[in-house]
Amino acid sequence: MAKQEDQFKKVLSHAKEYGYVFQSSEIYDGLSAVYDYAQNGVELKKNIRDYWWKAMVQMHENIVGIDASILMHPTTWKASGHVDAFNDPLIDNKDSKKRYRADVLVEDYCAKIEGKIDKEVAKAAKRFGDAFNKEEFVSTNGRVVGYQEKINSILSRMASSLEKEDLADVKLLIEELGIADPLTGSKNWTEVKQFNLMFGTQIGASAESSTQVYLRPETAQGIFVNFLNVQKTGRMKIPFGIAQTGKAFRNEIVARQFIFRMREFEQMEMQFFVKPGTQKEWYTNWKETRMKWHLSLGMGADNYRFHDHEKLAHYADAASDIEFKFPFGFKELEGIHSRTDFDLKAHEEHSGKKLQYFDHEENKSYTPFVVETSIGLDRMFLAVFSNSLKEEELENGTTRTVLKLPGVLAPFKAAVLPLVKKDGLPEVAREILNDLKWDFNVFYDEKDAVGKRYRRQDANGTPFCITVDHQTLEDKTVTIRHRDTMEQKRVAIAELKDIIKAEVAVKTWLQKM
Ligand code: ATP
């Protein structure tokens, strides 16, 4: 646990030190759970968004994008169920005055039991060596099976109490499990209450004529209300999808995990409209496709798992999360939901407008069913960033900090470094830079010894360093150094573009899907 916390602290300080993420309005001591992306962070975030957009929109001829407004007609949120049901169960500790999500306290308790399972598995793996069969072990070892049964019974009781709105039982569960305030150890809890997560505001000039509106808590509804407009003007045939990326706002009760849970964040969502009855097939299909997208980035299959939901949201007939192993354990990164025809039907009812699709093959109209894939851009940023940050021991006994970002996502693809600041080397370096920058984001650095500059680029995540030296003036060759292997090669300037492209092009990575 301490190791995990240390790793997470390193992630936070590296993100700040290297210009990836700053606290919002830091000079005023920040605003809780609100962050700004800095000069490198904005590039990484844009590259993740592009990688998603290309995979979802550009590579699918039946998926198109939109960009809807953050403010929407307030009835949207009545229809979607957010006004009445977008709540989290909160609980306060009377001694520490700290506020928690009751369900998260219980989930964290279960994560601790899961930690015990992991320990048993690690011990057994060591004992049995190559002959170790993890699946068999976890399904037959008495202690592990007992732990797993305990987790299942706790989670299913909580799911059923939340479903029935039996908040008293959620509190009872917390008491029975002896869950204490993680910060102070106090078990002096208030009752569990529901808390609506939407931010409200007013639209209009005067108090009398103003209307209550909300900052959207998800981007999906902007897609649903535009469904027919897009279908008609784009002459889309079912099955088809509408994708969107954009800001969403939630007044989260507990927001203590950096950019994992923010009050203002960005989502990348795609709603896929299908013929009723085919939704299960498409749901399975999108689960697979989305997992392949994650795996294409090469961050390790062991770091992902599906978590199929027991408690389904009011609109869903199936739901699963893709969980990622963050520095603080496995947590939701993306949700894949089979949303039925709930949203379109609800908007038909509240707006009085038909939102149906006429199927020429079947010669009838129907309300399509929807399968949604929804991923948090900031969470994806944290997954990529934390997974890429490594401390490496080198052969000469020193260590280096290296940010092994997938090349396609790295803010800068290469840094051009004149060996010395004289003899015409900076001029040649700038010529190379000026040529490369038409195709890639390239960095120029001439300050300090070249070894130091290499380290700086390693920590910054730049895949290549290109060094211009005196030989360059004679034969138009440079040294290109690879971030991960630290291997250096002498190549012709004319070859640089192809070398960089082979490593960082979207195609190189997406083709792995
Ligand atoms: P959680 O259970 O963690 O609160 P959720 O199930 O409410 O998440 P969804 O409504 O399914 O999340 O939203 C889809 C995605 O949006 C999530 O998988 C996550 O990546 C992202 N997301 C949701 N809430 C936040 C937040 N407060 N900050 C950052 N990303 C978020």
Q: Which residues contact 479 (CB under 8 A, 6 or more apart)?
A: 466, 467, 469, 488, 489, 490
pLDDT digits (tens, 9 = 90+) for 200-244: 999 887 777 778 899 999 999 999 999 999 999 999 999 999 999
- The pLDDT tens digits for 405-458 are 999 999 999 999 999 999 999 999 999 999 999 999 999 999 999 999 999 999
pLDDT tens by residue, 236-291:
999 999 999 999 999 998 777 899 999 999 999 999 999 999 999 999 999 999 99
Q: From ligand 1's centre to the CA of 333, what distance in Å?
A: 7
CB 469 within 8 A of CB 419: yes
pLDDT in tens, 127-168: 999 889 998 999 999 999 999 999 999 999 998 998 888 999
Atom number in ligand 1 closest to CA 255: 27
- Render pLDDT for 341-393 as a digit per residue (tens, 0 to 9): 999 999 999 999 999 999 999 999 999 999 999 999 999 999 999 999 999 99
Tens of pLDDT along 36-70? Answer: 999 999 999 999 999 999 999 999 999 999 999 99
Task: Indicate which residue's Cα is closest to atom 9 of ligand 1.
Answer: 335
Establish whether residue 245 lines the binding site of ligand 1, counting it when its CB lies within 6 angstroms of any ligand atom: no
pLDDT of 314 higher than 80: no
Instruction: State if residue 375 touches ligand 1 by the CB under 6 angstroms criterion.
Output: yes
377: Cβ below 6 Å to ligand 1? Answer: no
- Provide the pLDDT confidence category of residue 85 given band limits of 50, 70 and 90: confident
Whole-angstrom CA distances from 353 to 63, 75, 149, 171, 347 are 24, 13, 49, 43, 8
For the chain, counts of helices (H) and of strands (E): 18, 23
- Dist. CA 440–CA 34, nearest whole Å: 30
Mean residue pLDDT of the chain comes to: 95
Q: How far is the CA of 497 from the centre of ligand 1 (A)?
A: 39
In short, whether 252's Cβ falls inside 6 Å of ligand 1 is yes
- What's the pLDDT band for 176 if we cut at 50, 70, 90? very high
Render pLDDT for 20-40 as a digit per residue (tens, 0 to 9): 999 999 999 999 999 999 999
What CA–CA distance (Å, rounded) separates 242 from 244?
A: 7
Reading the block at residue 478, the tokens are: 């440079």
Strand 63-65 to 240-249 pairing: parallel
Structural element, H or E, at residue 307:
strand 304-308
- Is ligand 1 within 6 A of the CB of residue 220? no
The pLDDT, as a whole number, for residue 310 is 78
Evaluate if residue 179 carries a pLDDT over 90. yes
User: Buried (b) or exposed (e) across 388-406, using 16+ Cβ within 10 A?
Assistant: bbeeeeeeeeeeebbbbbb
pLDDT at residue number 21: 98
